[in-house]
Amino acid sequence: MPRAPRRPSEEARLAAYKPGVDVARSRRRREDRLLAVRRTNRDAGLFKRRRDEPTPIPAARAAAPSQADVPDETTSQPSSGPSSPPSSPPAEGVPPTTTDSELEGLSEMVEKVWSDDTTSQLEATVQFRKLLSDEKNSTVIKIIRADVLPRFSDFLSRYEHPQLQMEAAWVLTNIAASDYTLLVAECGAVPRLVKLLGSANANIRHQATWALGNIAAEVPTCREIVLDHGSVTPLLAQFREDMKVPVLRTATWALSNLCFGKLPAEVQVKPILEIVSQLIHSVDEKILADACWALCYVCDGVSDGIQHVLDAGACPQLVNLLMHASANILLPAIMVLARISSGHDAQVQVLVENDILNYLARLLARSYPKSIKKQACLIISNIATGSKDNIQAAIDADVISTLIFLLKTSEKDIKVEAAWAISNAASGGSSDQIQ
C-alpha cells in the first residue's frame, strides 16, 4: 500500500524517543506542512503568460507575425487588480466604470470588429491586440465590456483568413493571461482553439497552444473545460523533432498546466509520459522545469501515478537532475522523487537501485534552498522505513552522518526533517547499524 509521508511503525517507541509528542497530531502537522509545500510550489510552477508586442505593426498593414516574431522568452505575470471601472452595465464578474477618455476610439474598433468587411475586422483585431500590450487589467475590462469576446471566438473559425485567426488567438491569449480567464473559457473559444492545434500554420498552432495553456493555468473549472474538449491528444501532436525552442517551451508549459490536478479517467497518461520522459533530458532549463512539474502533477493527480512515472523510465534522469546547478530544476525534480519515495516498497527500491542516496548526500552538503533540503530529508526518511538493507545503503552513502551534521547546524525546519530520518533509521535498524 502507498504511504505518504512515511512514519516509524512503532508509535509507542516514537513516543518514548520523543516524550510528550502526540504521534497522530505530529503526523497531521507534518502532512499539513507537505501540503503547504505542494501549494506553494504549484504556484511556482503554474502560471499564465502574456504574449508581448514584438514590434509595432501598422494597423493598415496588420501583418501576422512571422515565426521570428515569437518571443524567445515569455515574461507574463497575472495582471494587477482592476481599476477605473466604466459606467455602462458590467459584464458578469467585471468591476464597474471606466472614464469617457479611456473609451475614446473603442466604439470605432468595436464597429469594425462587428462589420462584414474582413479588412476592417483584421485592422480592428490588431488594434485590440496592441491595446492589450500594456498589461493593465483596466484595458482588459474595457474590452470585455465592449462585448467583443464572442466575436474574437468566431474569428478563430475563419480558416479562409489565417491572419485573422492568428490575431484573434493572440487577443484571447492575452485576455486569458488577465484576471478574467474564465470569461475566455466560457465564450466558446476553447473548442475552436483546440481545433486550431491542427492548423497547417505553425504560428497559429503555437498561438492556440499558448492560449489554451493560459486558460488551463486558471482555476480547475477552466482546466476541466480545456480537457473536456479533447485537448491532450492534439497538444501532444505538437511535439515534433523540428520544433523551435520557444515553441517547444510553450507546448511543454501548456502540457504541464493540463496535468495539474486530477486528470479525467478518459485521459490516457501513457502518451503524456512518453513525451515528458523525453523532455526531462532537455538542455533548456524552462523546458526541463515544466517537464518535471508535469511529472510531479501526474504523481499527485492520477491513480497509480507514481507507477506510471516509473514505467515511463523517468527515474534515472530525475536522480541525475539532483546534481543540476539550478534550484528551479532541482525543486520539481526532487518533489517528484519525494512522491516516489512515499510509494510502496518496490517503488522505493527503484530509487535505491538508482543510487539516490549518494546523490542526496552530495546535495545536502551543498548550499541549496531550505525547501530542497527538506525534500531530500523526507526522501531519506521514507527510504529508512524500509528494509535493513535500505538503512545499510543510507549508512554506506554517508547519509546518516550528514543528517547528524544538519541536526546540529541547520535551521529548525531542516532539523525536524533530519530528526525524522534518523528516527526512522534507528527504529528499523539492527543493533549493529544503530551503533
**256 domain-assigned:** no
Can you tell me the distance from the alpha carbon of 283 to that of 285, in angstroms, rounded to the nearest whole number? 6
Contact call for residues 394 and 383 (beta carbons, < 8 A)? yes
Kindly state whether residues 322 and 416 are assigned to the same domain: yes
DSSP 116-159: S-HHHHHHHHHHHHHHGGG--HHHHHHHHHTT-HHHHHHHTT-T
Q: What 8-state DSSP symbol labels residue 67?
A: G
**254 domain-assigned:** no
80, HSE (Cβ side, Cα atoms, 13 Å): 6
**429 domain-assigned:** yes
Evaluate the omega torsion of the peptide bond into residue 5 and state whether it is cis, within 30 degrees of 0: yes
Kindly state whether residues 25 and 77 are assigned to the same domain: no
Kindly state whether residues 56 and 5 are assigned to the same domain: no
Kindly state whether residues 329 and 307 are assigned to the same domain: yes
Kindly state whether residues 42 and 54 are assigned to the same domain: no
Residue partners of 284: CB distance under 8 A and separation at least 6: 245, 248, 249
Nearest to 177 by CA among 84, 47, 64, 44: 47
**260 domain-assigned:** no
Q: The pTM is what?
A: 0.78
CA 86 vs. chain centroid, Å, equals 35
CA angle at 341 for the pair 335 and 343, rounded to the nearest 5°: 115
User: What are the C-alpha distances in Å from 205 to residues 36, 216, 238, 345?
Assistant: 36, 16, 8, 43
**Domain boundary residue, one of 248, 273, 293:** 248
**Domain boundary residue, one of 215, 248, 281:** 248
pLDDT at residue number 96: 42
Find the helix packing angle between 345-353 and 327-341, rounded to 10°: 140
Domain count, the chain: 2
Can you tell me the distance from the alpha carbon of 6 to that of 10, in angstroms, rounded to the nearest whole number? 12
Q: Domain containing 23: what range?
A: 1-46+301-435
Kindly state whether residues 101 and 15 are assigned to the same domain: no
C-alpha cell recorded at residue 212: 489554451
**285 domain-assigned:** no
Kindly state whether residues 93 and 145 are assigned to the same domain: yes
Kindly state whether residues 67 and 164 are assigned to the same domain: yes
**Domain boundary residue, one of 248, 263, 281:** 248
Can you tell me the distance from the alpha carbon of 85 to that of 97, in angstroms, rounded to the nearest whole number? 3
Kindly state whether residues 59 and 24 are assigned to the same domain: no
Kindly state whether residues 112 and 101 are assigned to the same domain: yes
Digit-by-digit pLDDT tens for the chain (435 residues) are 444 444 333 343 333 333 333 334 333 433 444 444 444 444 444 556 655 544 332 222 222 233 333 333 333 332 332 222 222 233 444 444 444 444 568 999 999 999 999 999 999 999 999 998 876 778 889 899 999 999 999 999 999 999 999 999 999 999 999 999 999 999 999 999 999 999 999 999 999 999 999 999 988 999 999 999 999 999 999 998 888 999 999 999 999 999 998 888 888 899 999 999 999 999 999 999 999 999 999 999 888 999 999 999 999 999 999 999 999 999 999 999 999 999 999 999 999 999 999 999 999 988 889 999 999 999 999 998 877 888 888 888 889 888 899 988 888 888 888 888 888 887 765 666 665
Kindly state whether residues 393 and 341 are assigned to the same domain: yes
Kindly state whether residues 83 and 196 are assigned to the same domain: yes
pLDDT at residue number 68: 34
**288 domain-assigned:** no
Can you tell me the distance from the alpha carbon of 108 to that of 86, in angstroms, rounded to the nearest whole number? 17
CATH number at residue 348: 1.25.10.10
**262 domain-assigned:** no
